[in-house]
Structure 1
């Protein structure tokens, strides 16, 4: 009987590794604030209304008689698709937010996100160049911020949205201190 290579013990550790999951074992993830669900839902709703208004233009033109050369079903389909897309996006918003997490380890910071396309980013403290904390007007209204980590590789940034403002300030200071300490040791 052939065994699945994804669940065979690794040669150096002797434990079972399941290749279907990319989360490291034994990591306790810190989750973003629950209020971020509302912030994210507001963004989805506003974006959906904009797309609904844009896609409704052919329908308005068809109903007023200006647009007569195309079938009416097409004019109804465009805003229908925009509405269905927005509703589906709103339904999965809570799950998307619950998938966002971060974990501070001894030598690096882990950041994860995504439902269908999962991503776990490992940022070594010694590679961090600076840490940004950003607050837009909606974030500020909910007492949240976004922490963004910039690394030595210009194309790599790790973002942790929906963090409480106090936690964001703590992360900025702690990660900056750890980055400086690891960089000095190089």
Structure 2
């Protein structure tokens, strides 16, 4: 038994395998993902609930206006759509936990998504604009959205739910890194 243990490489040299659903610092197993504020889930939830309320009002108006003459398909589709939006709203907190970023040496990694995870690497040298947006709901929660603009149209990255001070500090750091690493401009 001690011989098997002796053949194992030291922990520092073993590759760290990502755990399914774990927060182990993928991609390298050492640097943890930075998370957005959990308060952002309330903003996401509020937006989803507004859509559910609009749908409920529209359905109520349609039912009152049409009476019993409304065909069966719209009668079934509207409640089904409301149920889907309600489930979507219930997943708001899990969706927010799936948003994260890592500042690496040459780029920023951004991820979001539960079932369909999207991971984008934004090289510092390609950043053209780092913008902070604060809508009324985010402003009320003390949060901001950081938007990155690069030469590529496919790299539209928005990092929502950052605390205002964190967003400003991250913006300043990214602008500083971008200025020192300009490439091809």
Tell me if both proteins adopt one fold, taking TM over 0.5 as the criterion.
yes
Could you tell me which residue of structure 2 aligns to residue 174 of structure 1? 173
Post-superposition CA distance 1:112-163 (Å, at most 9, x none):
0001110110011011111000000000000000001111213422110000
> Are residues 1:112 and 2:115 paired?
no
Aligned with residue 41 of structure 1, among 38, 45, 54:
45
Query: 2 CA distance for matches of 1:82 and 1:147?
Result: 31
TM-aligned CA deviation for residue 174 of structure 1: 0.3
Could you tell me which residue of structure 2 aligns to residue 25 of structure 1? 28
Query: 1 CA distance for matches of 2:138 and 2:173?
Result: 22
The answer for unaligned runs of 5 or more in structure 1 is: 1-13
Note if contact 2:110-2:119 (Cα within 8 Å) is conserved in structure 1.
yes
**3-state secondary structure, aligned to 1:160:** strand
1:26-175 paired onto structure 2 within 5 Å = 26=29, 27-63=31-67, 68=69, 70-71=70-71, 73-175=72-174
Q: Let me know the Cα RMSD of the aligned residues.
A: 2.6
**3-state secondary structure, aligned to 1:129:** strand
Could you tell me which residue of structure 2 aligns to residue 4 of structure 1? none
| Higher helix fraction (1 or 2) | 2
TM-aligned CA deviation for residue 108 of structure 1: 0.6
Query: 1 CA distance for matches of 2:16 and 2:164?
Result: 39
TM-aligned CA deviation for residue 56 of structure 1: 3.5
**3-state secondary structure, aligned to 1:130:** strand
Note if contact 1:99-1:113 (Cα within 8 Å) is conserved in structure 2.
yes
Post-superposition CA distance 1:47-101 (Å, at most 9, x none):
11112223344322233x6xx2x44x43532331132112201211111110000
TM-aligned CA deviation for residue 185 of structure 1: 9.3
Note if contact 1:144-1:163 (Cα within 8 Å) is conserved in structure 2.
yes
TM-score for both structures, normalised by structure 1: 0.80
The answer for unaligned runs of 5 or more in structure 2 is: 1-13
Query: 2 CA distance for matches of 1:138 and 1:16?
Result: 40
TM-aligned CA deviation for residue 184 of structure 1: 6.7
Query: 2 CA distance for matches of 1:184 and 1:115?
Result: 33
